[in-house]
Amino acid sequence: MQPLLTSEPSKVGDYRLFARIGKGAMGAVYLGCSRGGRPVAVKVAKPELAEDADFRERFRREASMSASVGGFWTATVVDADPEAEHPWLATEYVPGPTLHQAVNEHGPFPEHTVRRLGAGLAEALQAVHRAGLVHRDLKPANVLLGPDGPRVIDFGISRAMAATGMTATGMFFGTPGFFSPEQTTGGEVAPPSDVFSLGAVLVFAATGNAPFGNENSAAMLYRVVHAEPDLGTVPETLRPLIASCLAKDPNVRPSTGELLDHLGHSGSPTGEWLPRRVTTLISAHTAELDRVFRGEPLSASNGGTRVEERGGSVAAGATPAAAGAAAAGPSSTRRDDSRPAEGSRAATANERPGAVTGDPERDRTERPLVRPDLAGPVFRSGRRINALLWAAFSGALAYGTVMIGANAVTHGPSRALLALGVFLLVLSCVLCLAQALTPGISLKINSDGLRISRMGLHREIPWSRVGRVGLVGSGKKQALTVWAHQEFTPHSKWWHRTREYYGGNKIFLVGATGGWWARRREARRLRTALRQYAPRSYDARLL
């Protein structure tokens, strides 16, 4: 959460506003409180949308229909005013992380949790469809994890937003990788489209990845329409059901009722339905809500949680970003997430809940700027086997040269040249052996930033201090390069050598990860990770 700016309202309708949760495609989302003391999430439309008469009409109709949505697993719409200067909508506040944040930070869910999640989401969609609505943008960032079960947010209003002229030509309303083939091709969007999205969400919950990859939008759009989903790591007992949800033909997908027939008897969600680490996140959100309502000051330097458009949200009704699997709704961590502003994606150590604030240097030593326990891909410099082979070859060649040349060479100059050659071979053997035995560089990319490790030493570069990042060069010289703030410039150290590059610094040599095939594979993984965890900082144009 962030404190309200002086330009932002302190009250909307009958609701007093305490903090800003985030911003997205529709407008800003605030934490509010009713006169009776109930916490709510208040979404206020952007001024340019408020001036659109068509949007107001659709907002009025969709807000009325959304208020009629029942069910246990949807965030209840409690109030709305389409006629206000800036139309607004108030929904139930759910003190918990989004599915996107929880999976990004703590990894995929176990099978029993995925089953309970699927049952809750199917029942939520059933309630939405009964109200005559289609969600259109079901994704991990629009699923909140409450202590008693999941909540689906942003139903109904997404259709009002999509129907206005506020989207640019050629843009889709939704999240590539989670919306259906018919959305991609411009076909009729009906309840089966939401079932397809539900299948994609369950794949993400079970594996930590979208079923059609996490690359650029164009590639995912093509795969959604033409390729089969990647279900290789989905639990076998769930695979047939999820595959049926992801069928290309909407007519063969199961209905929400059929899904409940398969998933509806997997146990009632309780406080133990989630992994313990995710339950701890919910407790942290609840504690933060209590602090805000007690009137404790909320600021980035006083324990306030920075909300950025990454992959998570603490409020029901948080607005999603327009596109991108990682560019999800407002987040209480990052990764908005949503995992968190999807240049800056993560709060620094003193911006996290419960962080000690006062002495910055003390905070930096007690709390890492890039937490090592967060989920994210790891890259390692390799070629140690090659170095070992070259060491053995050089040693054998030196030994053979000594054994053969000792008897064959008798003249002084020739013996000197022989000794020099043996010396160089032995030196090469020693250097290659040292390279093979010395631990390589390890690079981890997660929702907090970049973490470089070697021999127990670490270097941290948080996304909040990175202006630009990308891959430069080609072949063996291709390297990950960052342009960071001055205090975080990664200068060379004895254990981690860097090279300057047009104002930036090369911090990880892709060419050191292996041969030609390995370099290409690792370069693709790096680009995918940067798109997912640093979409605002990643520059794909770098060469």
Residue 177's pLDDT band (cuts 50, 70, 90):
confident
Domain boundary residue, one of 65, 92, 119: 92
Is 371 a domain residue?
no
The span from the CA of 349 to the CA of 254, in Å, is: 45
What residue numbers does the annotated binding site cover?
Answer: 43
pLDDT at 191: 92
Tell me the residue range of the domain where 27 lies: 2-92
Cα–Cα distance measured from residue 19 to residue 9, given in angstroms and rounded to the nearest whole number: 10
Say whether both 112 and 251 belong to one domain: yes
Domain end: 279, 294, 309, which one?
A: 294
Q: For the residues 176-203, what does the mean pLDDT come to?
A: 89
pLDDT, mean of residues 40-65: 83
Question: Pick the residue with more confidence: 65 or 116?
Answer: 116
What are 97-134's pLDDT values in tens digits?
Answer: 899 989 988 889 999 899 999 999 999 999 888 888 88
pTM, entire model: 0.55
pLDDT, tens only, 358-384 = 333 333 444 578 888 888 889 988 656
pLDDT of residue 381: 80
Q: How far apart are CA 309 and CA 453, in angstroms?
A: 28
265-276 tens-digit pLDDT: 655 544 478 888
CA atoms within 13 A on the CB side of 54: 8
Q: Which residues are annotated as a binding site for ATP?
A: 43
How does pLDDT run across 215-261, given as a tens digit for each residue?
666 777 888 898 899 998 999 999 999 999 999 999 999 999 999 99
Is 528 inside a domain boundary?
A: yes
Residues 89-102: what's their mean pLDDT? 88
Please tell me whether residues 189 and 141 are part of one structural domain: yes
Q: Averaged over 422-440, what is the pLDDT?
A: 79
Q: How many domains does the chain have?
A: 4
Would you name the residues annotated as active-site residues? 137
pLDDT reported for residue 170: 42
Domain stop point among 294, 315, 343: 294
CB-based burial label for 343 (10 Å; 0-12, 13-18, 19+): middle
C-alpha 308/C-alpha 100 separation (Å) is: 13
Residue 303 confidence (pLDDT) above 70: no
Per the CB < 8 A criterion, the answer to whether 506 and 435 are in contact is no
Tell which residue, 443, 448, 516, 506, has the closest CA to residue 476: 516
Calculate what percentage of the chain has a pLDDT beyond 70: 76
Short-list 174, 179, 208, CA closest to 102: 208
Q: Tell me if 490 is assigned to some domain.
A: yes
pLDDT at 516 over 70: yes
Whether residues 118 and 248 share a domain: the answer is: yes
